[in-house]
């Protein structure tokens, strides 16, 4: 059972920023927030993760609220190839490799 | 230069048969996993191996048996296949038990 809540689906216009929210109100102090995505018929792809500070890499930015009860994944300039299911996962990384995927958010980028 | 690869990509077989799915990673990772994604698209961990030793075995029927000949390979053998075994099976790997996991392309198993 996933410990996160995400909207079932979202649309975004091509070239615009896609902001995907995730609620994790029961997150513990030693749990990280991970984001993966799954493009149709492919394996899940790692995007980004963070503990409490905001993070940015070549794919996306992760904004975590100060109380850590929610976060937002930002794709700054969405393209059609970003259409996928996006999974927000919380996990304890110390001595634990168990990742529990929920239903995710189906993001559709439209031209 | 595929990081995590699986064979075959598609597998169609009859109920009652025994089949294997192979996974190889060339990332030098110590930990490998098997996940199952059912028809409702939920992705669930089945097994985890660290340095060829089993460290997670979720509630999976004992018809499923992972085999790790070396730390770069984790194969999944399934005995007496059932209709409910039809799913997409993903292999993944990571450096250690706490690190980011990287997934293979999946094997779509169809049991008739």
Tens digits of residue pLDDT in A3-30: 899 999 999 999 999 999 999 998 888 8
Interface test with A, best of B5, B10, B43 (most A CBs within 10 A): B43
Could you read off the pLDDT of A48-60 as tens digits, one per residue? 999 998 999 999 9
Taking an 8 Å Cβ-Cβ cutoff, which residues of chain B contact chain A?
A: 4, 31, 33, 41-45, 48, 50, 55-56, 90, 92, 94, 96-106
CA of A31 vs chain B CAs: smallest distance (Å): 11
| Residue A102 reports pLDDT greater than 70 | yes
Q: Residues B49, B34: contact at Cβ < 8 Å?
A: no
Asked whether the CA dihedral A65, A70, A73, A74 is positive or negative, the reply is negative
For residue B42, the model assigns a pLDDT of 84
The full DSSP string for A39-99 is: -TTS--EEEEEESSS-EE-SS-EEEE-TTSSEEEEEETT--GGG-EEEEEEEEE-TT----
CB-based contact A42 B105, cutoff 8 Å: yes
Cα torsion through B15, B87, B43, A40, rounded to 10? 180
The Cα–Cα gap between B28 and B39 comes to 32
Q: How many inter-chain contacts (A to B, CB under 8 Å) are there?
A: 55
Asked whether the CA dihedral B100, B101, B105, B110 is positive or negative, the reply is negative
Angle CA A38–B3–B19, to nearest 5: 80
> Among A87-101, B1-15, B31-45, B75-89, which stretch is predicted with the lowest mean pLDDT?
A87-101
Mean of all residue pLDDT scores within chain B? 90
| Residue A92 reports pLDDT greater than 90 | no
Tokens 């109380």 -> residue: A67
List beta partners, residue A21. A72
Could you read off the pLDDT of A38-91 as tens digits, one per residue? 998 899 999 999 999 899 999 999 999 999 999 999 999 999 999 999 999 988
For residue B53, the model assigns a pLDDT of 80
Radius of gyration of chain A measured on its C-alpha atoms: 13
> Among A6-15, A64-73, B47-56, B64-73, which stretch is predicted with the lowest mean pLDDT?
B47-56
CB-based contact A43 B106, cutoff 8 Å: yes
| Residue B63 reports pLDDT greater than 90 | yes
Tokens 């958010």 -> residue: A105
For residue A93, the model assigns a pLDDT of 63
CB-based contact A96 B97, cutoff 8 Å: yes
The Cα–Cα gap between B90 and B38 comes to 11
């Amino acid at each position: 059972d996933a410990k996160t809540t995400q909207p079932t689906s979202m649309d975004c216009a091509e070239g615009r920023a896609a902001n995907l929210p995730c609620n994790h109100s029961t997150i513990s102090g030693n749990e990280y927030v991970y984001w993966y995505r799954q493009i149709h018929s492919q394996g899940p792809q790692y995007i980004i993760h963070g503990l409490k500070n905001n993070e940015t890499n070549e794919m996306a930015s992760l904004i975590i609220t100060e109380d850590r009860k929610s976060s937002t994944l930002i794709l700054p300039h969405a393209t059609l190839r970003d259409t996928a299911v996006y999974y927000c996962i919380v996990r304890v990384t110390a001595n634990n490799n168990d990742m529990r995927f929920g239903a995710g958010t189906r993001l559709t980028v439209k031209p | 230069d595929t990081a995590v690869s699986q064979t075959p990509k598609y597998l169609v077989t009859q109920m009652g048969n025994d089949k294997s799915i192979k996974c190889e990673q060339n990332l030098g990772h110590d930990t490998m996993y098997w996940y199952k994604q059912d028809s409702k698209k939920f992705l669930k961990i089945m097994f985890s191996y660290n340095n060829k030793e089993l460290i997670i075995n979720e509630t999976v029927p004992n018809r499923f048996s992972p085999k790790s000949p070396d730390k770069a390979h984790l194969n999944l053998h399934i005995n007496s296949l059932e209709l409910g075994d039809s799913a997409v099976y993903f292999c993944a790997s990571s450096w250690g038990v706490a690190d980011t996991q990287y997934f293979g392309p999946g094997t779509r198993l169809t049991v008739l």
